[in-house]
């Protein structure tokens, strides 16, 4: 049982209006490992996390967490399942009416009957783990972006989840807090045996911590493998992405008519 994958995504289809976002995505997330899902922005990586968390319903296909089909569960069972997962949002998504301490204590208060003293100990432990025990009295509006994300991380691990979903954890961070976050994610995975899914397009940081990587583009899994195998992949699309070349099979330009025709077509307005 314990070596079976924790999350299995089978033939996932999803579209938003006319836009087809996923056309048959298969993923397999092993327990206790850090799995990265990478791809250019706009490929629906955040959407994938929302599908795994059961907030969006796919057009076809399944998401199995520990064998349970997320989208077939009742509302109640889904909320029970979510207690076993944590999610780190891009914006942090801290509750703006609660201070840092109360934000971290929130999951403990609503899901456990622990006495106040115990809640305090756990919340301070989690804050200590992200290095922000001293900031417990601040309100979310007083935190910098990096600090907010670390508090959100402390809140996401408050209930010791089995699975944690990271949505673009490195975006918009200065090099120092980026390094701090990379280390934290790695350490949490090693120390607590957490299964992690990291969605990101920061190649260097992600490849340095991931055990396994999926690259998604055009609604499909373009490549997958360990960071070492991806680095030497011959597929020009994969190599363009992994080595960050500006133009290649994935075009720099948004589809448009020929530039010269466009310039000469003055008088037609925009």
Partner 1 sequence: MIARLQQLGRRGCDGLETLGRAGVFLALSSFGVPSREGWHLWLRQMHFVGVLSLAIVLVSGLFIGMVLALQGYTILVDFGAEQALGQMVALSLLRELSPVVAALLFAGRAGSALTAEIGLMKATEQLTSMEMIGVDPLRRVVAPRLWAGFVALPLLTVGFSVVGIVGGYLVGVEWLGVFDGSYWANMQASVDFLDDVVNGMVKSLVFALVVTWIAVFQGYDLIPTSEGISRATTRTVVYSSLVVLGLDFVLTAMMFGGLS
Q: Site residues (CB under 8 A) for partner 1? A: 50, 53, 55, 75, 79-80, 82-83, 85-87, 89-91, 93-96, 106-107, 109-111, 152, 155
Buried-exposed string 107-139: b where 16+ CB fall within 10 A, e elsewhere: bbeeeeeeeeeebeebbbebbebbebbebbebe
In the complex, the smallest distance separating the C-beta of residue 21 from partner 1, rounded to whole angstroms, is 18
Report how far apart, in Å, the C-alpha atoms of 70 and of each of 101, 206, 256 are.
31, 27, 40
User: In the complex with partner 1, which residue's Cβ is closer, 130 or 213?
Assistant: 130
Spatial contact of 221 and 214, defined as CB atoms under 8 Å apart? yes
User: In the complex with partner 1, which residue's Cβ is closer, 97 or 258?
Assistant: 97
In the complex, the smallest distance separating the C-beta of residue 122 from partner 1, rounded to whole angstroms, is 15
In the complex, the smallest distance separating the C-beta of residue 237 from partner 1, rounded to whole angstroms, is 31
In the complex, the smallest distance separating the C-beta of residue 84 from partner 1, rounded to whole angstroms, is 9
User: In the complex with partner 1, which residue's Cβ is closer, 91 or 229?
Assistant: 91
Spatial contact of 63 and 12, defined as CB atoms under 8 Å apart? yes
User: In the complex with partner 1, which residue's Cβ is closer, 83 or 187?
Assistant: 83
Q: Which residue has the tokens 């995505």?
A: 25
In the complex, the smallest distance separating the C-beta of residue 158 from partner 1, rounded to whole angstroms, is 9
Nearest to 100 by CA among 120, 131, 130, 127: 127
User: In the complex with partner 1, which residue's Cβ is closer, 49 or 242?
Assistant: 49
């Amino acid at each position: 049982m314990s070596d079976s994958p924790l999350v299995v995504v089978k033939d996932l289809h999803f579209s938003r209006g006319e836009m087809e976002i996923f056309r048959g995505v298969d993923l397999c997330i092993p327990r206790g490992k850090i799995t990265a899902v990478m791809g250019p922005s706009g490929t629906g990586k955040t959407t994938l996390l929302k599908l795994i968390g059961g907030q969006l319903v796919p057009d076809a296909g399944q998401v199995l967490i520990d064998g349970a089909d997320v989208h077939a569960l009742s509302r109640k069972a889904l909320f029970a399942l979510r207690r076993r997962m944590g999610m780190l949002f891009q914006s942090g998504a801290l509750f703006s009416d609660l201070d840092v301490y109360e934000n971290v204590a929130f999951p403990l208060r609503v899901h456990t009957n622990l006495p106040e003293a115990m809640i305090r100990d756990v919340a301070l432990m989690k804050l200590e783990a992200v290095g922000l025990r001293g900031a417990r009295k601040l309100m979310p509006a007083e935190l910098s972006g990096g600090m907010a994300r670390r508090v959100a991380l402390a809140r996401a691990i408050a209930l010791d989840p089995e699975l944690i979903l990271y949505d673009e954890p490195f975006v918009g961070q200065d090099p120092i807090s980026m390094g701090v976050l990379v280390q934290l994610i790695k350490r949490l995975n090693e120390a607590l045996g957490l299964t992690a899914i990291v969605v990101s397009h920061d190649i260097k940081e992600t490849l340095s911590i991931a055990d396994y990587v999926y690259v998604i583009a055009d609604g499909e899994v373009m490549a997958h493998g360990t960071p070492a195998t991806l680095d030497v992949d011959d597929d020009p699309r994969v190599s363009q992405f992994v080595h960050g070349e500006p133009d290649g099979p994935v075009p720099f330009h948004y589809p448009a008519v020929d530039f010269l025709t466009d310039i000469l077509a003055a008088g037609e307005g925009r």
